[in-house]
A = this chain, B = another copy of it.
């Protein structure tokens, strides 16, 4: 032990001349697999993406106060800020994914640069909400634009550094002859947004509307570029070859499946626990009030918070099960595309809204004027979150040979089972929505029954699929003797005919 300590104190001086190349071959020499750095970045980004739901969720509305216009407007602004932040952070995340599909190994310098980049990205939600709160003040726009300029510059440094140390790059580029071309191509794409933001930052002091035009261009530029390219190839017949699989901005561009999963996991986890954060902080009764108001009866004191606990368990169960569906879905997926990523983002954005919806439900659980509205908002949020999950699946089916496991394609048992799982939440949330319209008196009861039923529905679904499988087998066996293997490959229509 003493030796070890000595080595620590004398530090660098002890370093014996270890063969550099030998060490590098074994991941030493500073080169490391990037996996964990990316997992950490995903965790940071998913937390930041969902953070702007907090100001929305903490907007206080009195139970006896009708949703009047000013409250509605305040909520609408905050929700818009939340959605925009979510989209901005996911765009930054997608750029990060794209970048680290090109760079496969990291070293200490890249890790530190990446941390610096993360620091500025985590500041984006705040600077955006400043800009949204004071749209006519130049400093807000300047701050937001500067952040995105800095992010772009750091990413450019990352690219330059890794092209200077080509062993960090992915194999395709490493063996290629014209690395210089790749470098300029990637740099051009990365610096496009920051350049526009730079102009936005400058014009924020002279003519604010122009700044917004520049910021808007950041979003539309890739699509404009696409249109012109498409136009060129269709009308003028000029076919331009795409140099890389990434950095194309096509909807079929591959997106690292692991990172989509990691980012989604982060969002689901933080959203599932958002309500318990509040509960832990606010719902421990005050010692003085406890003695005076409740006469030392803890059950009585806690029953006041009852709706909050119910809201917590309700939101945890719903988010847990939506995660479960997402998890089942991605077990069948072999390759994620950009389109699936976009749909996944939309689904996650609604999932981020769930704690808000449930908080509304818990705040209005005591018979109030807005009870039905709150429950209907919850149903609509759940519906959209689940319908976008469903659309990921349909998007995957478009190119099922590339994107899905063979056994999950059309006509397999897993295929039907997956469809049933994905259809469960949209159907039930729609049914609840219409039920509350008809039986408005019982809306809270209906909603809570729904919450309790759904976990069991998943288990029942399993049994149902098995039973129908047995029934179907016994019905179809006598009729034809096609071997099972072949039968599984038939499309549902053929099997039924």
Contact = CB atoms under 8 A, between A and B. Distances in A.
**Residue in A17, A19, A140, A328 whose Cβ sees the most chain B Cβ within 10 Å:** A17
Given A4-B397, A15-B416, A52-B280, A273 B122 contact: yes
Interface in A123-160: 123, 125-126, 129-130, 133-134, 137, 139-140
A54 B19 contact: no
Contact of A487 (B16, B23, B397, B420): B16
A7 B410 contact: yes
A290 interface: yes
A133 B284 contact: yes
A244 to B, nearest CB: 28
A486 to B, nearest CB: 10
A486 B290 CA distance: 71
Interface string A278-311: 0111011101001000001011001000000000
Contact of A17 (B8, B133, B269, B484): B484
Contacts of A63: none
A245 interface: no
A12 B420 contact: yes
A110 to B, nearest CB: 11
A39 B262 contact: yes
Interface stretch (A94-102, A348-356, A444-452, A454-462): A454-462
B7 A416 contact: yes
A377 to B, nearest CB: 21
Given A54-B281, A109-B459, A122-B316, A265 B40 contact: yes
A245 B12 CA distance: 38
A14 interface: yes
Interface residues of A, number: 133
Given A12-B420, A108-B328, A51 B280 contact: yes
A64 interface: no
A222 interface: no
A116 to B, nearest CB: 8
Nearest to A316: B119
A19 to B, nearest CB: 4
Contacts of A133: 284-285, 287
A317 B405 CA distance: 42
A479 interface: no
Contact of A36 (B111, B320, B327, B416): B327
17 contacts: A1-B397, A3-B491, A7-B415, A11-B465, A12-B468, A13-B472, A15-B417, A18-B407, A19-B488, A22-B484, A23-B414, A28-B414, A37-B327, A43-B265, A119-B313, A125-B276, A270-B270
